[in-house]
Amino acid sequence: MNAEKRHRIYATLAKANPNPKTELEFGNPFQLLIAVLLSAQATDKSVNAATRRFFPTVKTPADLLAMGEANLADAIKTIGLFRNKAKNAIATAQQLITLHGGEVPHDRAALEALPGVGRKTANVVLNEAFGDATLAVDTHVFRVANRMKLAPGKTVDEVERKLMKFTPPEFLRGAHHWLILHGRYTCVARNPKCGICPVFDDCEFTGKTKSEPFP
């Protein structure tokens, strides 16, 4: 895909959603970190339903430690891998207090050193909480980047590198939000909704068609 097409795709998505945000609900960087940690192999909707049970009173790492692992596990039992996630969330809260004065660090290495926090989670926190131009490649971004030929790659790391390299600078801050939302609601895994796609003309998906009916 050439640079002109990429620019038009991002410009179109940006025009429709000038200030993209994560669909996870949070009130501060710590709550964002916990929400993203819980979102692995779970939908944002299910995570939001779980965090609404305790975010009103759990706003800091100290609050989460006071809540305790058992109570946290009970609050998030409706999402996948809840026991392991509760364990990691409590350990992360403890490390934030011990190593970072109870604050979420604005540093990739420090974030990735936290229990249960990988590169994708760190990218989301750096982007959403601190405004960094990072690209978190989840299943939606990976699919869209490959299907549209926006930044094809065989691995998550390869797709991230290519997106960082080829995304026009003015769109880097919002790119992963636009691609996630596009993949979640339009360029879905099965039966992509090409008939209503705003970037149909610039997409290089070989199977695209405007003729199929959509639910």
- Residue numbers annotated as active site: 120, 138
Query: Do residues 45 and 184 touch, judged by C-beta distance below 8 A?
Result: no
In angstroms, the CA 170 to CA 11 distance is: 10
207-139-55-90 Cα dihedral, nearest 10 degrees: 170
